[in-house]
Amino acid sequence: MNASPTDPLVLFMPSGKRGRFPVGTPVLDAARQLGVYIESVCGGRATCGRCQIEVQEGNFAKHKIVSSNDHISPRGAKEERYDRVRGLPESRRLSCSSMILGDLVIDVPQDTVVNAQVVRKSASDRVIERDPAIQLCYVEVDEPDMHKPLGDLDRLKVMLGKDWGFDNLLVSQHLIPEVQKILRKGKWGVTAAIHRDLEASRPNIIALWPGLHNEAYGIACDIGSTTIAMHLVSLLSGRIVASSGTSNPQIRFGEDLMSRVSYVMMNPDGREAMTKAVRDAISDLIVKVCAEGGVDPDNILDAVFVGNPIMHHLFLGIDPTELGQAPFALAVSGAVHTWARDIGIKMNYGARIYMLPCIAGHVGADAAGATLSEGPYRQDRMMLLVDVGTNAEIVLGNRQRVLAASSPTGPAFEGAEISSGQRAAPGAIERIRIDPETLEPRYKVIGTEQWSDEPGFDDESWKTGVTGICGSAIIEVVAEMYLSGIISEDGVIDGSLATRSPRIIQNGRTWSYLLREGRQGEPRITVTQNDIRAIQLAKAALYAGVKLLMEKQGVETVDTIRFAGAFGSFIDPKYAMVLGLIPDCDLSEVKAVGNAAGTGALMALLNRNHRREIEAEVRRIEKIETALEPHFQQLFIDAMALPNKVDPFPKLSAAVKLPPRKTVSADGVAGDSTPRRRGREGHAARRARE
Ligand code: FES
């Protein structure tokens, strides 16, 4: 069917793809020729209803198109029948059954009921074009004929080839004994789920249903060391049907990753126990999201997982011992394709599993997911992507070159190792401000609307109590203590301020800041010198890792920063920068992106091309092992200061008034204050030392 320059012009929205087609071309065919994805399960029989479109009427001067319902064939018998049986809104047409008669602007609806081609993720307003690895295909198979002794399964394959273009099909073994029953139950009409992930590999029939089957779902799951987060998604519409999370039950074997590796090393059944625990938790979470979304788990046909290297290995049943010591060898770094049944995850018996590749021994499939989601390699500008957890994963790069590393930040940012630290939960202080004149704090507590100095705070906060400081507030309190002059740039609490404020209290040779006295039954909340040290160590580890990558890239600044992970969602970029957790950058360019690893999993679930994209990118990413870099130690020492001993923070200084530099000896005795040296001078000092 060759189009001529006078043939009708058809524009598809929202993709904006356009082309000319001879009068009489079915709209679905035109869409396919242009690469516009319109779902079809029934193969154009007007029975699945997945191919719905809308004609936009009007004069689209910009496109030189006058579009009208008169330019498409009227509803025919097939559409009328579909409308009678299933209902078809007046504005909608089945694209398989409507022909082009004139110029048209066609809207491919993005609603969630049918045929949504995109999924919008509220956190990032992301659009993911769909091209999942699973395709549902309905066919009507010839009945058996004594004169043509081709088997039932073989005739099914013939029809899948004829109607859908599949040849050389594999069939999942568990279906072979079922084929005859299913064909007869469906009166020779069946729907096959075909897995066709890699172009180079043979497509595979993984599930079969009698008659027309119109449901296919997938799971996108991020296995975190603390939390497992899951989306249940319709593969036919891209709609997120339900999202949920659960704590990782492996916590009972060890809070952090290394203690879990140690558990495996010390206990003969340790690996099996942890693998079982995480798989069971995932299966339970599937039951939960299915109940929430009203979905039969048997309709889940594909699942994509991400996780840090140790979670990745334990989930796949691999001993992670090698990841606990240099050279941090991964058993498998490439993407893993496997079957859900082989790893004991309860969904359709033929369901597939895809796990994103790991970047390095300390930079896992979760970092690959975040990289796919945020796409530093798609940028012209230099993007820094950090995922802060007990191990910070750092990716820095642009279109030309991407580097990745991890840095051992420890659990301080999550509230562990901090005297009054706790996880973010009702009762935890989440925001803090300190008056630089009076050194009095005001704070906000999770579960209470008012700030502590506002009327009603006392009554409201009784409900939860005020129990500790969570991760985001730990960043703020240390930054505010610095901005108000309570601590020096070296992080030492200035004991001389005790004469000015009763909140500066002595503990032996060091000092603490009293944040809250605590009512009856509540703890006294202080920030000790040790707490500040723990935060300095954590932030210095992260910054030194970032700085190392910047030096390898040959850049002095980054253009944009993305904070992935739950922690990043709650910290204020300004305070993160005051602390020197991240390098100097325009504050408006620092963005929290939530669970970017999970978003990456979702992308790989909904579009198999994203799998190829991240597989290729991971091969290209240069891995830097911070522990092996001799220079790392010096960068770490420089980064202990607030914001940094040598690096200038000109953009931060323009946005926030940083205090003059003052020295305080380790036991809290203040020395002289000097104006802040910035910029070239700091750089020069560093260069001289190098
Ligand atoms: Fe199934 Fe049009 S393709 S109704």
**pLDDT tens-digit map of 269-322:** 989 999 999 999 999 999 999 999 999 999 999 999 999 999 999 999 999 999
Q: Which atom of ligand 1 is the closest one to the Cα of 49?
A: 4
Residue 592's Cβ-count burial label (10 Å; 0-12, 13-18, 19+) is buried
User: Is residue 608 a contact partner of residue 578, using CB atoms and an 8 Å limit?
Assistant: no
| pLDDT for position 677 | 43
Q: Which atom of ligand 1 is nearest to the CA of 39?
A: 3
Cβ count near 423 (within 10 Å): 12
Pocket test of ligand 1: the residue of 32, 36, 38, 42 to mutate, having most ligand atoms within 8 Å of its CB, is 42
Is the CB of 31 within 6 Å of ligand 1?
A: no
Measured in angstroms, how far is the CA atom of residue 94 from the centroid of ligand 1? 6
- State the Cα–Cα distance between residues 162 and 153, nearest whole angstrom: 14
Tens-place pLDDT, residues 78-108? 999 999 988 899 999 999 999 999 999 999 8
User: Ligand 1, closest atom to CA 96?
Assistant: 2
Amino acid 122: pLDDT: 42
Q: What does the pLDDT read at residue 389? A: 72
Contact 68, 83 (CB under 8 A): no
Rounded distance from Cα 293 to ligand 1 centre (Å): 25
Distance (Å, rounded) from C-alpha 529 to C-alpha 465? Answer: 25
Task: Report how far apart, in Å, the C-alpha atoms of 533 and of each of 27, 509, 567 are.
Answer: 66, 15, 20
- Does 478 or 114 have the greater pLDDT score? 478
Residue with CA at minimum distance from ligand 1 atom 4 = 46
Question: Is residue 253's pLDDT more than 90?
Answer: no
Q: What is the pTM of this model?
A: 0.84
Ligand 1 atom closest to residue 40's alpha carbon, by position in its atom list: 3
pLDDT value at residue 674: 55
The answer to whether 405 and 364 are in contact (CB under 8 A) is: no
Compare 1 and 224 and report the one with higher pLDDT.
Answer: 224
Q: What is the per-residue pLDDT for 275?
A: 95
The pLDDT, as a whole number, for residue 134 is 96
Best mutation site among 29, 36, 51 for ligand 1 pocket (most ligand atoms within 8 Å of CB): 51
Average pLDDT over residues 499-522: 92
CA of 303 to the centre of ligand 1 (A): 26
CA distance 610 to 474: 37
48 lines ligand 1 (CB under 6 A): yes
- On whether the CB atoms of residues 470 and 446 are closer than 8 A, the answer is yes
Would you say residue 116 has pLDDT above 50? no
**How remote is the CA of residue 191 from the centroid of ligand 1, in Å?**
13
Instruction: State yes or no: pLDDT of 238 exceeds 90.
Output: no
Average pLDDT, the chain: 89
pLDDT score for 117: 32
**Is pLDDT at 447 greater than 50 in this prediction?**
yes
What's the rounded mean pLDDT across residues 452-466?
92
Q: Residue 115 has what pLDDT?
A: 33
Ligand 1 pocket, residue 44 CB under 6 Å? yes
Range with lowest mean pLDDT among 20-24, 126-130, 204-208, 458-462: 126-130
pLDDT tens column, 35-53: 887 888 888 889 888 899 9
